[in-house]
């Protein structure tokens, strides 16, 4: 069976990209990381991904919603024959358009629809969770659409809040869940894709006709 080609977008440490690469290597996902895209050469994640043998492309900063910037990202993903785009701690808005509709996922370090939206990322999410006094948190993997953190949910994993823990401590516990959840969600999406390719019809949200072969 064909291995899917993942295009991964990063803005920081690259931990999530490396986790996906490890999941591909172990066989947890029938896929490979075809290309990692970042917007700054000096990002820690760029060095870490290259050291792990992953291809990395740098798309210099520009207005995040500009057509030129989005066109360049599309171009490098198309050249790499990417099947599925995975946002991995990516802090810029990704243009889905017709090309990637149903073929772009994001992981969020909180339970949606609460604690999501523009500007809610990293420890900001965990601080908001603790300030709200809720009893649990977790992570959410969802399809990317044209609004921040609002696409259909694919999978979530939850953990109880430990009394007295800091945002940093909660972040580490949630990241441990993310390492399990993202590969699992990708495997679920690819299984739907493969069923569609086997003649059972395209599952909701997967645009077979637009897939890069």
Supply the residues annotated as catalytic.
108
CA angle 23, 97, 33 (to 5 degrees): 20
DSSP string, 61-100: ---TT-HHHHHHHHHHHHHTT-SEEEEES--S----TTTS
Torsion over CA: 114, 117, 122, 125 (sign): negative
Q: Which of 147, 140, 155 has the alpha carbon at shortest distance from 190? A: 155
Q: How far apart are CA 82 and CA 87, in angstroms?
A: 13
């Amino acid at each position: 069976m064909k291995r899917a080609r993942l295009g991964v977008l990063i803005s920081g440490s690259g931990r999530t990209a490396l986790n996906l690469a490890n999941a591909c290597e172990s066989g947890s996902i029938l896929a490979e990381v075809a290309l990692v895209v970042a917007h700054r050469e000096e990002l820690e994640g760029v060095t870490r991904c290259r050291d792990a043998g992953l291809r990395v492309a740098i798309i210099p900063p520009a207005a995040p919603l500009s057509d030129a910037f989005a066109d360049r990202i599309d171009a490098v993903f198309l050249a790499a024959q990417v099947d599925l785009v995975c946002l991995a701690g990516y802090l810029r808005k990704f243009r889905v358009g017709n090309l990637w509709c149903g073929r772009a996922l994001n992981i969020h370090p909180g339970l949606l629809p609460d604690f999501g939206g523009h500007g809610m990322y990293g420890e900001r999410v965990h601080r908001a969770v603790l300030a709200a006094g809720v009893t649990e948190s977790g992570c959410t993997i969802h399809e990317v659409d044209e609004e921040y953190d609002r696409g259909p949910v694919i999978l979530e994993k939850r953990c109880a809040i430990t009394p007295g823990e800091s945002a940093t401590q909660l972040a580490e516990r949630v990241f441990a869940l993310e390492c399990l959840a993202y590969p699992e969600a990708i495997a679920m999406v690819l299984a739907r894709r493969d069923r569609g390719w086997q003649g059972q019809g395209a599952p909701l949200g997967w645009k077979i006709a637009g897939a890069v072969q």
